[in-house]
Each structure stands twice: as structure tokens, then as C-alpha cells.
């Protein structure tokens, strides 16, 4: 199942609705990388609330995704990791190092707003 990507102002929101195959994840990474450029987005939110399992491939793909979009000029934040998933992840040593995380979509938006304000402040 392809993940719907919604454009919301300066941000792209990818909301994962069900368990994904490896191919779906790779596809998500490719489309986000492409759309960040097309819409000149400044932030990306990947909502994983619906996932109750995350394997190492998923975690690595999400991390790569975050780094890819960052290179394309957008900050990525992963939101909605379930407590049980988080616990399993740290047990397996999958910690999404260097990738921003937030509790839910609302927090993620707030985080991006703050980041962007900081950035424009520095640049302006």
C-alpha cells in the first residue's frame, strides 16, 4: 500500500496507515525526496502511530529518509512511535540516532515551527 503524502503549507505529512512492506518504505523514501524538492518544503513529518512493529529495515529506511530530506533542505521528524515499539527498538539497538522524534502530529508540527523560526532567525 502506498503511503499518502499530504502537503500542508511548508510541510509534507506522510501518514502511515498500515503495516508496510520493504518496497513500500523504499518507495516512501523516494517520493518524499522528490516532493521535498518539487514543493520546496521545509519540513517533513512521518507519522508512524499505526505501526505496532518496526524492524531494523524500517528503522534504517526512516533514518535514511530523514538524512535524504535534510540534504534536500528539509527537516524530518518522526512522530507517534508507540511505547511498546520504542521499547523494542532500544532493546534491539535501533535508536534513530540524529533523527528528530515527537509524541504526535501536533508536537511534530510545533517542533518544525520552532526549528524553522530558529533557522530563519539565523539566516535573516
Partner 1 sequence: MTPKQRNTPEPPELVVNSDETSALLRELVAHLRQNRTQLREDWARRITRAALLTAMTEEEIFAEATSVYDNYVEALATGTFEALQAYARNLSERIIPRGVETHEVVGIVLLLRDVLARSLFAKYHEDFTKLNRILDAYEPAANRIANTVAVGFVQERERVIRQQQEAIRELSTPVLQVRERLLILPIIGVIDPQRARQLTEQLLRAIRANRAKVVVIDITGVAAMDSNVANNLVQTVEAARLLGATVIVTGLSPEIAQTLVTIGVDLSEMATVGDLQGGIEEAERLLGYKVGPLSEVTPQS
Binding site for partner 1 (CB under 8 A): 78-79, 81-87, 89-91, 95-96, 101-104, 107-108, 111
In the complex, what is the shortest distance from the CB of residue 29 to partner 1, in angstroms, rounded to a whole number? 19
- Closer by beta carbon to partner 1, 35 or else 44: 44
In the complex, what is the shortest distance from the CB of residue 75 to partner 1, in angstroms, rounded to a whole number? 14
**Which single residue is written with the C-alpha cell 540524529?**
98
- Closer by beta carbon to partner 1, 29 or else 63: 63
In the complex, what is the shortest distance from the CB of residue 101 to partner 1, in angstroms, rounded to a whole number? 5
Residue 56: burial class (beta carbons within 10 Å; 0-12, 13-18, 19+)? exposed
Q: How far is it, in rounded angstroms, from Cα 84 to Cα 109?
A: 23
In the complex, what is the shortest distance from the CB of residue 34 to partner 1, in angstroms, rounded to a whole number? 27
- Closer by beta carbon to partner 1, 34 or else 110: 110
Q: What are phi and psi of 90, to 5 degrees?
A: -70, -30
Q: What crossing angle do the helices spanning 22-38 and 56-71 adopt, rounded to 10°?
A: 10
Q: How far is it, in rounded angstroms, from Cα 51 to Cα 98?
A: 21
Q: Which three cell numbers stand for residue 26?
A: 523504499
- Closer by beta carbon to partner 1, 83 or else 121: 83
Amino acid at each position: 500500500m502506498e503511503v499518502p503524502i499530504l502537503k500542508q503549507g511548508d510541510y509534507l505529512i506522510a501518514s502511515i496507515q498500515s503495516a508496510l512492506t520493504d518496497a513500500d518504505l523504499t518507495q516512501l523514501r523516494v517520493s518524499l525526496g522528490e516532493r521535498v524538492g518539487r514543493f520546496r518544503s521545509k519540513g517533513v513529518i512521518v507519522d508512524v502511530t499505526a505501526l505496532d512493529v518496526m524492524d531494523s529495515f524500517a528503522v534504517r529506511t526512516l533514518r535514511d529518509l530523514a538524512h535524504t530530506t535534510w540534504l534536500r533542505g528539509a527537516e524530518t521528524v518522526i512522530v507517534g512511535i508507540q511505547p511498546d515499539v520504542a521499547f523494542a527498538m532500544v532493546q534491539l539497538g535501533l535508536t534513530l540516532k540524529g533523527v528528530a522524534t515527537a509524541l504526535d502530529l501536533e508536537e511534530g508540527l510545533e517542533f518544525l515551527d520552532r526549528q524553522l523560526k530558529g533557522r530563519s532567525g539565523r539566516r535573516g
